Amino acid sequence: MPTEVVGAVALRKALNQYAPDLAKELTKELGAVLKPIVKDARGFVPAQSPMSGWAPRSFFDGKFPTYNASIIKSGIVYKTSPSQTNRAGFKNTIRIQNKSMIGAIYETAGRKNGQGQEWVGPNNGGASKGVSRSNNPYAGNQFISNLGNLYGSMKGSDHRMMGRLIFRAWAKTQGKANLAVIRSLENTTKKFNDRTQIVDLRRAA
């Protein structure tokens, strides 16, 4: 799903400063690529909870959020403005996000450990967040199994590029979305360079 494009952030800055019309045009083109993917991702959200124990209930007061399809759908959005620099030193030029906590759980649960977290029992495991304290020793495995398959690609042991909604919708494009984004950036770069050259020639004259 992710594609490294060298100079994309610098291009966006230059467009905003010197060619706002091209910046607006590029944003529109990128949005046209991302909107159908967001729509598909929202369409993959089950209307009902995948399991009865995860459904909303009046007496629930736990920290783990209950299932809500509307919240998940509304939390799937796209951004065409560059993100903050991440730990690896990269910025996302464009991205699709699953902003809600419940959406993130549905999207990513099980991609690190397909069998669920290690079960230690209700009163064990100390302060660790990476273990299951459920009364049911098979709760993690059952939870992940009910959510269905993960989609996307895995490099070595890195499961971060897999999910059930956004990643599934992006995989559905079979690489066409990546290509469309790259072409939009390349075409805009050419337009900007052509315009810059014209300006330089006029100044030289």
Report how many domains make up the chain. Answer: 1
Position 117 in a domain: no
Mean pLDDT for all residues in the chain? 83
Position 98 in a domain: yes
Position 139 in a domain: no
pLDDT over 80 at 192, yes or no? yes
pLDDT over 60 at 198, yes or no? no
Q: Which residues contact 19 (CB under 8 A, 6 or more apart)?
A: 192, 195
Better-predicted residue by pLDDT, 5 or 139: 139
Q: Which residues contact 179 (CB under 8 A, 6 or more apart)?
A: none
Q: What confidence score (pLDDT) does residue 64 get?
A: 77
pLDDT confidence tier of residue 111, bands split at 50, 70 and 90: confident
Residue 105, CA distances (Å) to 5, 42, 101, 152 in order: 29, 15, 6, 16
Position 93 in a domain: yes
Question: Beta strands 118-119 and 131-132: pairing type?
Answer: parallel
Structural domain for 75, as ranges: 8-111+150-204
Spatial contact of 68 and 56, defined as CB atoms under 8 Å apart: yes
Residue 37 tokens, joined: 């993917």
Q: What confidence score (pLDDT) does residue 119 get?
A: 72
Give the DSSP H/E element, type plus range, for residue 118.
strand 118-119
Instruction: Convert the pLDDT of each residue in 35-89 to its tens digit.
Output: 999 999 999 999 999 988 888 876 666 667 889 999 999 999 999 887 777 776 6
Q: What confidence score (pLDDT) does residue 61 get?
A: 60
CA separation for the pair 30, 35 (Å, rounded): 9
Position 127 in a domain: no
Position 137 in a domain: no
pLDDT confidence tier of residue 194, bands split at 50, 70 and 90: confident
Q: Is residue 90 left, alpha or beta, with left meaning phi > 0 and alpha meaning psi from -120 to 50? A: beta
pLDDT confidence tier of residue 125, bands split at 50, 70 and 90: low
Q: What confidence score (pLDDT) does residue 73 get?
A: 97
Q: What is the mean pLDDT of residues 90-115?
A: 87
CA separation for the pair 182, 177 (Å, rounded): 9
Position 84 in a domain: yes
Provide the 3-class DSSP secondary structure of residue 19: coil
Position 52 in a domain: yes
